[in-house]
Every structure is written in structure tokens, then in C-alpha cells.
Structure 1
């Protein structure tokens, strides 16, 4: 698909054909629906600012990024439910100190009024995190978001040690954008996460975007730490160019079937939702792998 096609698609909401295609995908696998571990719902003013940054192809984006789904909150929920999602997340994230606690209040309220959304929370390296992260866990947060690329912070910052410790002790997964795609920043890459895992080896770390482009090095970490998982968000899609997986990496990804979770990055994706599913099918790991990635693994981990 060309850049022109990608841009022209953004003017359309989810069509009946697109919805039917997504539903046929999971129905053909004999699934009850999909679970998407990487979706974004957040205060509308923050979402507007984030989408404006994408529109401007800001320095952390590095290329044109025509967002496809720009509907209001209720319409976006209707789209996901129409696709057949059984559960999804509200991954909000701060880019500076003093934001995380209010975002956690918003996502807690959103989860309370949106039963099919997994209660999500976030944090930033700041002294207050040692208190508000356990408070969010106590309030029922089931997954956390850490955006190391946007936040431009060292995940091994001592201020975060009690945070990682609390998450590891509670067994709460954290979805971390710690790979260097689409643009590297000071602390992206597996070398920054390795000290965190060494200090907290039981941490359930979901590497967002499959750690692209450093997927090989993150697979190495997964072999050392049983708690390292991956989400498939935007990985292997045409938008970033297809990745030809070497035989060794194909074998490792196949063997890690139980630790890979479907993610889309909805609504901020520059292509149709179905293209994310097509990219997984194209890997040709078989229907059992697709069933595990698109539903079974998340259902097991989250009881969703």
C-alpha cells in the first residue's frame, strides 16, 4: 500500500466492510473475540495534543503519520466493540512530572464506566510515584504504561526502583515503550531495560511494539527472564516495511507463543485495524499461534 493510499484512508471511519473483515478474522479462528492490549483512551485535551504532534510529524515520529480513527470517545468505543473486542486498555502516559497521578484518576474513572476496559495506570520518575503507584494497584489497576521514548527518562532511575518493585511484587504487567522505534531517544533500547530486569527479575514487562527495531536483543532478554512478554503493536506491518525474519528469530518467536499479545495502537494508527491482523497472519505461524496471540494469552494473564 502506498503512502497516498494510507493518507486517503484516514478520512474514513470504520466501514461496515472493515468491521466484517475483522469479525471474520477471529470467527475463522474459532475465537469468542479479540483482546487488544495496546489501545489509548485518555482526557480529550491530551489526546488532541498527541494527535496534533502526530499530524505535525514531530521529532519523535520522524515521518508522516496520517491517523485513521479520529472519532469522539463514544464512537471509538463503538468501533472497537463492533470489531468484537472483548477487552482493551486505556494507556495514558505522562511526558513530564506532575501528570501521572491525575491521569491515573482519569483512567480509574474510565475503567469504572467502561467495564470492557482493563483498568490502566501509569507513572513517571518522581518522588510521588512511590506512593501513587501502590495506590493505583490498591484501587484495582491491572496494567501500567511506561513510555520511555516520550518521557525521555532512564528506567533505572532510582526514583523508579520502588515502582518496579511494587509492580513485580503485585504481578501487575507494565507495557513499556522501550524500543527505539520510530525514533530513538536517550534511554530507548534493551540496554536501558536490562538493569531493571536484573534488579527485579520477576517483573512482568510487556515490551511494546515487539521492541522494534531491536526485536532480536529484546528476544535475548526474554530468554533470560520469564516475565518478559511482547505486544505486537505496529510490528511487522507495511507502514514500517515488512521485516524478513531470519530462521533463528522465527523459531524463537514461535517458541514464545505464550508470551506474545496482540496490540494495535488504536486510535493513533495510520492504517486500518485489519492491517494489523493481516500482518500477524502473514507471519505464517499457524492458527494456534494466532489464537494464543489474539486472545488466549491475554485471557489467561488478565482473566479477560
Structure 2
């Protein structure tokens, strides 16, 4: 495609049309119950301890506004990705996310879990109900990925091959529970898990890419990676670009919308300026998502938003 200088949200549909794509498949979008979203926004606004820096949110609309924004951008599939930060909240989030997916056709049915005695039971039930994707945020939840309460959970997810978007990387702020060691512990114990590693594993890109290269069902998402904002915190090493090109079928578009401090278009702009070619962009922005989750036409039609 043509070199990208500055891309605006209004021009995003033309951007993906130039790649001959039917739209965008974004695996890392967040929708949360309004009271929870308000608390999350407060953390960003206050540069909380797991944020680590000023983070001026670009999008602040309600659910209807944000669905409309994604539709205007041409994002044809996206998750809700709730994440539990403490015991006792996961099923509240899961029920809310299931309700959203039932009314918004583009939404992947999303769920979460936390290391607690009930986790195995409700995760098994969500899998049986056809949940498309789970999300866990190890940094925010501050738990051991090998917590005994999660043994049956990981085993069930491994057997079901249900993808899990997992934030186990150490960006933007490291904790004792995150990093390459925690990821290696998890995949060593459960090598057939279907994982999507958030933020390209930043700042430990090399180690996280190595895991994705070694394990057949481990993927990476581009969430915030390569953007000007993220490069200030965790620059992607130029010498890893050939490996990133080779991992083409393992990399999926992620944005972190709406919790981003720049227009959505900048994520796409940042991917294009890597110079990895149109075929790489096509796979990342659409085909890898449809291979992992299925194309939109393969899902039942739901009601209007």
C-alpha cells in the first residue's frame, strides 16, 4: 500500500479497502459494565500505580457511542474482554459481557476468570455455552499463573482450544507476577493452550516472540505496540523485524480501544510504517483473526445494538 504519513480515523475505511480487506478484526477491545469502566478510567486519569505515566484517554463515549465508532472505522469483529481484578467479580463481568454479545453482532462472546474456588465451575459452563474468548490480566489481578485454583481452568481451556487473551507481559509497569518467566511457566505446564499475548509481550519482545515461535497455538497481538506513545516506554528493537515478519500468521491486530491516548488510526499507521508489506498487514488486520475465531459470516446473526 502507499506509504503512511498521518492517518485519521475518518480515513481508516479507505486504508483497509486499499489492502483489499472487508474490514478489520481487532482482538483487543474493551467493553466493561459502566461502573467498572468509570473506575478503570479513573486509574488512567490519575496515572495509577499500574499505569505509570500520564495517559490522556482519547475516547470517552458510552457503549453505544463506542460501538458506533468501531463500526465507522470498519472494525467488523471485536471482543469485550472483561478482566477480573479480585475474587467474586468474574461472573458479574461475564454475565454483562454475554449480554453485550447477544445484542451487538460484531462482539466476540468474552469472559474472564480469577483464581478462586468457583473458577473451574464457571469457566467450564462458559466454555459449554460457546464463549469465543477469555481475557486474563495478570498484571492487574496480581496472581500466579500456576495458582492451584487455575489447574482445572487451564486444563479445560487447553482441551476446548478456546483462545485466551492474556496480559502477562511487564508493560507498562512490571510486577512480580509478570514477565517471560511467568509465561514460560504457563506454556510449559499447558503447552496446548491457545493464547494471544497482549502488547507483543512488551518490553520483553524477544522472549515472548520466541514462545510464540515455539508453541503452535501461541499468538501475539499488536495492542499499542509500535505506536509513538508505546515506543517512548518500550521501543521495539529494529533487529527483531525479520522475526516479526516470519511470525506473520501468529500476529493479530489489537488496539486496546477505547483506553488509548491517541486516535485508533495511529495503531494502523504504526503497523504500516514497519514496512513488512501488504500481505503481512492483511494477515494481521483480518485473516489471522478469522482463522482463529471464524469469519463474521460464520456466526449467528444477533439483534441490533
Classify the TM-score, shorter chain: over 0.9
Give the conservation status (yes or no) of the 8 Å contact 1:156–1:193: no
In structure 1, C-alpha distance between the alignment counterparts of 2:237 and 2:182, rounded to whole Å: 24
Structure 1 position 166 matched with structure 2 position 162: no
Counterpart of 1:145 in structure 2 is 135
3-state DSSP of counterpart to 2:136: strand
Which is further off, 17-26 or 40-49?
17-26
Gaps of 5+ in 1: 1-16
Shift of 1:199: 1.5
Shift of 1:244: 5.0
Query: Once superposed, what is the RMSD of the aligned Cα atoms?
Result: 1.1
In structure 1, C-alpha distance between the alignment counterparts of 2:254 and 2:60, rounded to whole Å: 18
Residues 35-92 of structure 1 show CA distances to partners (whole Å, capped at 9, x for unaligned) of 1100011100000000011000001000000001101110110000000111001011
In structure 2, C-alpha distance between the alignment counterparts of 1:216 and 1:89, rounded to whole Å: 27
3-state DSSP of counterpart to 2:94: helix
Q: TM-score, normalised by structure 1?
A: 0.92
Structure 1 position 104 matched with structure 2 position 94: yes
Counterpart of 2:281 in structure 1 is 290
Counterpart of 2:28 in structure 1 is 38
3-state DSSP of counterpart to 1:59: coil
Gaps of 5+ in 2: 1-6, 296-305
Structure 1 position 123 matched with structure 2 position 113: yes
Residues 132-182 of structure 1 show CA distances to partners (whole Å, capped at 9, x for unaligned) of 001111112110001000000011111111111111100101000111000
Residues 187-209 of structure 1 show CA distances to partners (whole Å, capped at 9, x for unaligned) of 11010121221121110111001
Counterpart of 1:251 in structure 2 is 242
In structure 1, C-alpha distance between the alignment counterparts of 2:203 and 2:80, rounded to whole Å: 25
Counterpart of 1:54 in structure 2 is 44
Over 6 Å off, 4+ runs: none
Structure 1 position 263 matched with structure 2 position 254: yes
Shift of 1:230: 0.3
Give the conservation status (yes or no) of the 8 Å contact 1:145–1:175: yes
3-state DSSP of counterpart to 1:230: strand
Give the conservation status (yes or no) of the 8 Å contact 2:213–2:247: no
For these two proteins, the number of residue pairs brought into alignment is: 287
After TM superposition, list the pairs within 5 Å mapping 1:70-81 onto structure 2: 70-81=60-71
